[in-house]
Structure 1
């Protein structure tokens, strides 16, 4: 049985509070920020129910029941076939009554694409701060804007506590459809399997590869045809546009120009990105633009930060998986070995992995 609310509180006090107190005593961040993290995580723990209990409840809506039944099958596949952690994560459900579980706030200087980083227990240093309240995220963003920073707020539907708690399937995850729900379960469990502090690109690329290969195998196990890849191709093309724009901005900011000239060049680059997107949409996507809302909204440096983090090293991990003949346990061992290297050596090792050849195994 899942722990009761008092049990969840006891677990919370034993695991999380000592870490938060240690950080607060060292003066790393404000009491109010860590207070909202603690409150938000505790509310999440208290909202959980075992999936079998939700399925057995006659009042459970049919649509929710169907989603959770599919999620149960994907969760079992994750441990049995993908060799991901076999624990209670994603075997519990929580309805938190809002569209996102947290809102991440990204910030950069006006003429830089270097993120303002923040360091935390367990997770290490990351390029954002997370807030369980949208209002709190907006308040933090407003303060950073007053300091002259570029700021962007992004809603997050799911995250991993890296095995410290039993992470639930959230109501925020259910609007994607059953296959996308399965891929997120694979992705988040991958973070529990391997996680390296202070290397977001490594962690996210690894989890993204596990998600992609896991989904391919999940479809094959159910006798479904391989995904056509149209959505993935569009995403890759869009990310390519954004990364190219980011490189041009880096060149602009490094140039010996006045601030007004850089400011004008920055806005001109954002307009170029919008034009390039529209050309791509109208010539290759038949006029249907899944990223229209994003591209037409206000633009700044911070909004470009998340791009590239999730897929920078995916080809290297795919090649590594092929090298071990598709053996998941051997693959994880190789990834763990890479994770123990110093950052520069780790990235050099990833760059040196030969790309997947035509004869690589894809069982």
Structure 2
């Protein structure tokens, strides 16, 4: 439980001041006593700290007192942002205009879970925004406890760090130091990925949105470094995109095979379903090691042996890599014009939504 003294609660009291006394007391009781309240108050506190540390990137990028390595990364972010606006016609609004230096290497730990006997993710409900298939924790010990509890309840679980997060437009989220730690190609990819979300976001279609952004980040980074004339980083961006395509195909094939064995067995045959899917994952591991792994260009040695294979991992990976080949086929049909490919994908999606409404 979060202590009701100190800076965190001072911040919360200021946020609640406009409310009436009775209403504010109820909110404070909710935030301080219930598990969800404790979770939200910690998130609000951490977000307030991040927002309080914002500084304009335009100033930091030219300030002599800024560490040279950071100054170079911030300048790269500015270039990528301008490239997105000028060359890709993405909407940047206020994204990536401020920077917050954090006092830790990991921003949040993200917990995802899935049922072991079917391809279905566990979801968490949050006030206002509804249900999400993952939960981020600023309290790392709480994240580990949650993961262990889910495993004890029979879920497949995956836990991983995230270097950035979004408040879904509630605040002007700054670029944080954990994001800037990434290599140059990944950093540019991230900027373009997020600005695609700012430009277009299909309501209720998480996999489409994230996979579309993966395509824009990957292919866009290739075009960015080609325009800069940086041959070394261009090759790295090209390798990263080919890895994305290769692994996207692997996750999709594995998903089809898992779904096939589940479909062949009745819903009540939980034990048999789990045994069958474990057999599929064993074959997938062999394929990953023997066929996919040797083709990967940007992954560390031994990754294919170490990456866990379970329903939570599979569904989490597929969110960001669903039918990347389809997006790439639009890119090819557009003659390798990334801006035109983005326009066509958005137009086609809007047309399909409009057609569905008119049926």
Say if 2:95 is the partner of 1:82: no
Determine helix, strand or coil for the equivalent of 1:180.
Answer: helix
Question: Residues 93 and 36 from structure 1, CA distance in 2 versus in 1: closer, same or farther, beyond 3 angstroms?
Answer: same
**Structure 1 residue corresponding to 2:306, chosen from 296, 302, 308:** 296
1:115, CA displacement in angstroms? 0.5
SS in 2 for 1:30: helix
2:350 alignment partner, one of 337, 341, 345: 337
Supply the distance in 2 between the matched residues of 1:328 and 1:275 (Cα, whole angstroms): 35
- 8 Å Cα contact 1:89-1:165 kept in structure 2: no
Q: How many Å apart are 1:102 and its aligned residue?
A: 2.2
Distance (whole Å) between structure 2 residues aligned to residue 129 and residue 60 of structure 1: 34
Counterpart mapping for 1:45-84 below 5 A: 45-84=51-90
The 10-residue stretch of structure 1 (177-186 or 230-239) with the greater mean CA deviation from structure 2: 230-239
Instruction: Give how far 1:37 is off.
Output: 2.5
Deviation of 1:187 (Å): 0.8
RMSD: 3.9
Q: Please state whether the residue corresponding to 1:308 is helix, strand or coil.
A: helix
**Residues 82 and 241 (structure 1), Cα distance of their counterparts in 2 relative to 1, 3 Å cut:** closer
Alpha-carbon offset, residue 124 of structure 1: 5.3
- Which stretch has the larger CA shift, 310-319 or 66-75? 310-319
Aligned match for 1:244, one of 240, 250, 253: 253
User: What secondary structure does 1:42 align onto?
Assistant: helix
Distance 1:39 1:153, change over 3 A: same
What is the deviation of 1:247? 2.4
Structure 2: runs of 5+ lacking an equivalent? 1-10
Matches of 1:99 and 1:172, distance apart in 2: 6
Which position in structure 1 is the counterpart of 2:149? 143
SS in 2 for 1:189: helix
Residue 263 of structure 1 pairs with residue 266 of structure 2: no
CA contact (8 A) 1:160 1:192 kept: no
Superimposed CA distance per residue, residues 252-296 of structure 1 (whole angstroms, 9 cap, x where no aligned partner): 33333754443333333332222212212675459x963734642
Structure 2 CA distance for partners of 1:163 and 1:313, relative to 1, 3 Å: farther
Equivalence map 1:101-112=2 (5 Å): 101-112=107-118
More helix by share: 2
For structure 1, the residue ranges without an aligned partner over 5 or more in a row are 1-8, 347-363
Structure 1's 283 and 73: CA in aligned 2 closer, same or farther, altered over 3 A?
closer
Taking structure 1 as the reference length, the TM-score comes to 0.74
Q: CA deviation at 1:114?
A: 0.5
1:90 CA drift (Å): 0.9
Alpha-carbon shift at residue 121 of structure 1 (Å): 6.3
